[in-house]
């Protein structure tokens, strides 16, 4: 497989071709990377979902210093997963479950729009190392199932990736525990990935709750931050600092601080 892709190939089609070839390497898309070994998916990562390390450390499954010790000792040899298990910091079964959750969460975003992939790097190996492989068709099928379910709940995929805010004056009553915890993290700044990281929760579960909150009229995409105005011409003379101007300056300083 070469590193050049024709324009008609989608990410899912490219993965299928790589699976047929039994390829090993990394396929980069607009929203993440899928790693393959012998034509099977062994890892996926995306900026729109917390990585495995964040999930393990924030949930308390692995201490932060233990995680970074495994990365330091096993990262260059692609054996971080093995180091976690061999050192007794994490059971093999727990690693496998967490790894598969992170893999499918990231793959969902890589395949969400199913656009043309950027490139394929033959032979590339993820630093985590082998944990468990999954057939390409199983990954593509599961991502399609998740997308269909989320769209049935609330058909706006922007909820998955943009900063979210609470709808003004909307009242939340008798929410399930997980949904209430998710709503409490919505602050006008955090995205679904950041909310998932704060809750040490798998992204897909968070997306389900956020789309339900959107369907209930409690959550919406946050308005984009205002673009700072360019400084006006220097007209010289004295400084005009009436109360309205002073207020505008304080607002400007606050926006710049944010």
Q: At what angle do helices 136-153 and 203-215 cross, to 10 degrees?
A: 20
Query: In this predicted structure, what is the pLDDT of residue 184?
Result: 95
Q: What is the pTM of this model?
A: 0.81
CA distances from 34 to 46, 157, 175, 238 (A): 9, 21, 36, 61
| CA 252 – CA 258 distance, rounded (Å) | 10
Dihedral in degrees, nearest 10, Cα atoms 180, 184, 190, 194: -60
What is the per-residue pLDDT across 188-231, written as a single tens digit (0 to 9) for each? Answer: 999 999 999 999 899 999 999 999 999 999 999 998 876 665 55
């Amino acid at each position: 497989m070469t590193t050049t892709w024709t324009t008609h190939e989608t990410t899912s089609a490219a993965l299928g071709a790589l699976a047929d070839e039994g390829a090993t390497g990394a396929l980069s898309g607009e929203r993440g990377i899928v790693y393959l070994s012998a034509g099977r998916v062994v890892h996926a990562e995306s900026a729109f979902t917390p990585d495995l390390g964040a999930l393990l450390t924030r949930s308390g499954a692995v201490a932060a210093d233990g995680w970074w010790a495994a990365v330091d000792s096993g990262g260059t040899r692609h054996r971080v997963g093995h180091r976690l298990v061999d050192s007794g910091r994490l059971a093999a079964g727990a690693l496998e479950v967490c790894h598969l959750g992170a893999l499918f969460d990231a793959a969902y975003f890589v395949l969400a729009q199913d656009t043309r992939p950027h490139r394929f790097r033959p032979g590339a190996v993820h630093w985590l190392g082998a944990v468990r492989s999954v057939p390409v068709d199983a990954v593509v099928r599961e991502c399609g199932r998740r997308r269909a379910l989320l769209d049935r709940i609330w058909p706006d995929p922007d909820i998955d990736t943009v900063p979210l805010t609470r709808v003004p004056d909307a009242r939340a009553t008798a929410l399930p525990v997980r949904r209430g915890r998710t709503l409490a993290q919505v602050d006008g700044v955090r995205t679904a990935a950041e909310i998932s990281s704060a809750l040490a929760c798998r992204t897909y579960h968070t997306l389900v709750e956020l789309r339900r909150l959107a369907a209930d009229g409690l959550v919406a995409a946050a308005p984009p931050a205002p673009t700072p105005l360019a400084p006006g011409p220097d007209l010289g003379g004295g400084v005009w600092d009436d109360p309205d101007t002073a207020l505008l300056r304080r607002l400007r300083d606050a926006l710049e601080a944010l």
